[in-house]
Amino acid sequence: MHAMSNPSCQQIVVVKNEKGLHLRPAELMARLAMQYEATVMVTKDDQSADCKNMLSVLTLGAVQGTQLGLSAEGPDAAEALSAVAELFEAGFHELDAE
């Protein structure tokens, strides 16, 4: 029976890059999330955004140091979640670009 249910996973991430969750990271995240079937949501306080929707991610206004919740639901939820979490962990590859 339980094989039918869509697994869901959650993780807390912190925005590390200096400029926060601006256009470029939002685009990177959307492009990455679209490679997965799972729905990946990012949550700040009581606002949620679909990672595949760049504009809704931008409306979160997440600045450097913001703690966000990531959650994923779907057949490849675990992979999608860890991929998006790694992007946050890497500071959207902006940390080394001065």
CATH code assigned at 21: 3.30.1340.10
Which residue among 8, 11, 18, 22 is the active-site one? 22
The token duo for 62 is 């997440």
22 belongs to the catalytic site: yes
Within 10 angstroms of residue 14's Cβ, the number of other Cβ atoms is: 13
Structural domain harbouring 88: 2-93
Residue with token string 């949501």: 41
89 domain-assigned: yes
Question: Is the confidence at residue 5, as pLDDT, over 90?
Answer: no
Q: How many distinct structural domains can be found in the chain?
A: 1
35-70 pLDDT tens trace: 999 999 999 999 999 999 999 999 999 999 999 999
Cβ neighbourhood burial of 56 (10 Å; 0-12, 13-18, 19+): middle
Instruction: Fill in the amino acid letter for 12.
Output: I
98 domain-assigned: no
pTM for the structure as a whole: 0.88
15 domain-assigned: yes
Lateral strand order in the sheet of 47-50: 8-14, 67-73, 39-44, 47-50
How high is the mean pLDDT of the chain? 91
